Chains A and B, each alone.
Chain A
Amino acid sequence: MQAIRAHLPHRPPLLLLDRILEREPGVRVVAEKLVTYGDPILQGHFPGRPLVPGVMLVEMLAQAAAFLEAEPLGDRPIFLAQILDARFKASAFPGDRLELSVKPDAGFGRLLRVEGSVSCEGRVLCTAKLLLAKGEARS
């Protein structure tokens, strides 16, 4: 968790990764997120029937993709530039241990395109291609 906080600028409630399971910068990253009842996002989505919003699954993949970068992001954040072919096949619920896998697909200049998938116990919940823009250092 310390390593995650050292790499990403995100903080609760928008820090969406719990563990990095596998990491080979520039090649692949597998991260983990445990969905819990206490998550503030689930309180309103939906009352009495908590499930993770699809866009949060995409955000999880984007945060996992940040670990494809070898160096901590520091003051050079990465932004979503485009979401391509996002498919939501099943919902994620409290208690689910989500596995977030990302690998680079293409890049040019400051843009990196990655392929990602969210799965739970071997079942794919979401797949998407994300285009990420690496930010300039703030001066």
Chain B
Amino acid sequence: MSDLKQQVKELIIQRLKLEGMTPDEIDDAAPLFGEGLGLDSIDALELVLAIEQAFGVKIEDEASGLKAFRNVESLTAFIAEKKSA
């Protein structure tokens, strides 16, 4: 697993208080919202703030947020792309 992916998973668990969950239990391709991890829109705001604080990456609007938040795979790719830009 890439370092960034691992960091993203740890951030999700820590900030969204998914107690008892380990990074290994989060499937890279599983949807973060609704089914899958079952996050809601309140978690989305928390995640936007967490990613900004941890990686200095801003999620400007809802459309790019929803795209990035599809799963861990897409979120990691989004952060990597923004960080290198």
Ranked nearest first, the 6 interchain pairs of A and B with the lowest CB-CB distance are A109-B62, A108-B45, A108-B48, A111-B45, A82-B42, A106-B49
Q: Which residue of B lies closest to A107 (CB)?
A: B45
CB proximity of A62 to chain B, nearest CB, Å: 15
A110 to B40 CA separation, bound complex (whole angstroms):
12
A111 near B49: Cβ-Cβ < 8 Å:
no
Interface pairs (23), CB distance under 8 Å: A81-B41, A81-B42, A82-B42, A106-B45, A106-B48, A106-B49, A107-B45, A108-B44, A108-B45, A108-B59, A108-B65, A109-B41, A109-B44, A109-B45, A109-B65, A110-B41, A111-B41, A111-B42, A111-B44, A111-B45, A131-B42, A131-B45, A133-B41
Chain A interface mostly: strand
Task: Name the CB-closest residue of A to B65.
Answer: A108
In the complex, whether A103 has a CB less than 8 A from a CB of chain B is no
Q: How far is the CB of A65 from chain B (nearest CB, A)?
A: 15
Add 18 more A-B contacts to A109-B41, A109-B45, A131-B42 (CB < 8 A).
A81-B42, A82-B42, A106-B45, A106-B48, A106-B49, A107-B45, A108-B45, A108-B59, A108-B65, A109-B62, A109-B65, A110-B41, A111-B42, A111-B44, A111-B45, A113-B45, A131-B45, A133-B41
Q: Which residue of A lies closest to B40 (CB)?
A: A81
| Residues of A near any B CB (own CB < 8 A) | 81-82, 106-111, 113, 131, 133
Complex contacts, B49 vs chain A, CB 8 Å: 106
Chain B residues within CB distance 8 Å of chain A: 41-42, 44-45, 48-49, 59, 62, 65
Q: A111's closest neighbor in chain B, by CB?
A: B45
Q: Shortest beta-carbon distance, B10 to chain A, in Å?
A: 21
Chain B residues with Cβ under 8 A from A113's Cβ?
45
Cβ of B42: which chain A residues have Cβ within 8 Å of it? 81-82, 111, 131
| Nearest opposing residue in chain B for A131, CB measure | B42
Q: In the complex the two chains form, what is the Cα distance from A110 to B66 in whole Å?
A: 13
Bound-complex Cα distance A107 to B65 (A): 12
Could you tell me the distance between the alpha carbons of A113 and B42 in the complex, rounded to whole angstroms?
A: 10
